[in-house]
Amino acid sequence: MSRLRKGKSLEFDEKKTAVALYRPFCKQQFYFGDHVIDMRYQMDKFFPTPESKNLLITVNGISGTQDFSTLISDKYTDLHFNGDSQCFPMYYYEKTSGQKTLFDDVGDAHVRRDGVSYFILKRARKQYGTSVTREDIFYYVYGFLHSPAYRETFADDLKKSLPRLPLVEDADDFRAFSRAGRKLAELHLNYENAPPPEGVTVSGDRSNLRVVKMRFPAKGRRDVIVYNDAIHIENIPNEAYDYVVNGKPAIEWVMERYQFKTDKDSGIVNDPNLYALEYGQPDYILKLLLSVISVSLKTMEIVRGLPKLELEEEDV
């Protein structure tokens, strides 16, 4: 804004546009040009270009009021994507100085570095075997952060400080957490492609797909979602709402973010139906809601299958 007040123009650079994750299960077009975004924090190191590949485990920061949650991302993320998000990357990128080693992965004037340190890799290999990779550890972290026992034992600490994780004693448990983390990551990253959940039905006239504001039919009743006046989603299992991220069920994030809304101060209209039509998918929002119901049920199924832990506060 200070540049505009001084009469200095901003030049639009199409190469600096990308799709970003704004809120859980909500994507938006994003422009990351200089002088437009107030603070990009470490995002330039995680995604120096729109083509840069990376994964971020986000947690909901510290000093918040919400219970702990975690969500993975493969894109730029807004600060409030998951609370006041703190991001832990699989990689980070540094600008090249003109020199590189045989181990540097260089592309577009950037060197890719590993986010998982050699120290923890060495320790994990000593404890679980030399076949352990940095990716195994990364997904172990994502799986472990979903452990109900971990979240319950350290609920108060997780509101005051960033999570600290132990390495479990048993190698089989380590591998089970890592496998679960991979499954959860694949599920959460590809949430738009999850097939509709079995048993959940859609009734009504599908020729009218326009959304104004999705809602429940009555207070305390969540087995049905009124998509619009013509369409209802029915037979939603109650356990689908057990998957909570950033303070509310994933399903309710879709209901909240994908609504027609006019900002009172600016008059700017947010119409998610335009996004669906622009990409030639008029049923995008309906399919998204069904997919996130499915993702929620599958997430809780994986979480229920995690290794059991007996933790005390001195364990981390």
Same domain, 53 and 97: yes
Q: Give me the amino acid identity at 64.
A: G
32 pLDDT tier (thresholds 50, 70, 90): confident
Query: Does residue 2 form part of some domain?
Result: no
Work out the angle between the directed axes of helices 171-189 and 284-304 (0-180°, nearest 10).
170
Of 75, 99, 115, at which residue does a domain stop?
115
Query: Does residue 5 form part of some domain?
Result: no
Same domain, 241 and 263: yes
Pull the structure tokens for residue 9: 């123009």
Longest CA pairwise span in the chain (Å): 64
Same domain, 129 and 98: no
Same domain, 278 and 238: yes
Cα angle, residue 183 at apex, residues 84 and 255 outer, rounded to 5°: 50
Pull the structure tokens for residue 167: 């390495």
Same domain, 94 and 128: no
* 186 phi-psi bin (left φ>0, alpha ψ -120 to 50, beta other): alpha
Query: Does residue 308 form part of some domain?
Result: no
33-40 contact pairs (CB < 8 A, 24+): 35/3, 35/10, 36/10, 39/79
The pLDDT assigned to 2 comes to: 65
Query: Does residue 312 form part of some domain?
Result: no
Query: Does residue 314 form part of some domain?
Result: no
Averaged pLDDT, 41-64: 85
Q: In this model, does residue 97 exceed pLDDT 70?
A: no
Number of domains in the chain: 3
The pLDDT assigned to 221 comes to: 96
Averaged pLDDT, 171-191: 98
Same domain, 221 and 210: yes
For the chain, the average pLDDT equals: 89
Question: CA nearest 75: which of 138, 32, 133?
Answer: 32
- Number of neighbours of residue 76 by Cβ within 10 angstroms: 24
Query: Does residue 311 form part of some domain?
Result: no
Q: Give me the amino acid identity at 190.
A: N
Of 100, 115, 130, at which residue does a domain stop?
115
Q: In degrees rounded to 5, what are phi and psi of residue 293? A: -60, -45
The pLDDT assigned to 169 comes to: 93
The pLDDT assigned to 16 comes to: 75
Q: In this model, does residue 93 exceed pLDDT 60?
A: yes
The pLDDT assigned to 313 comes to: 61
149 touches 267 (CB < 8 A): no
Query: Does residue 180 form part of some domain?
Result: yes
Pull the structure tokens for residue 40: 């990009």
Pull the structure tokens for residue 220: 């305390």
Same domain, 110 and 176: no
Same domain, 101 and 134: no
The pLDDT assigned to 105 comes to: 52
pLDDT in tens, 76-92: 898 889 988 899 999 99
Query: Does residue 316 form part of some domain?
Result: no
Of 142, 171, 189, at which residue does a domain stop?
189
Give the Cα separation of 69 and 5 in Å (integer): 41
Same domain, 88 and 172: no
pLDDT in tens, 236-277: 999 999 999 999 999 999 999 999 999 988 899 999 999 888
Residue range(s) defining the domain that contains residue 161: 116-189
Give the Cα separation of 75 and 19 in Å (integer): 7
Same domain, 170 and 160: yes
Same domain, 173 and 106: no
Same domain, 159 and 101: no
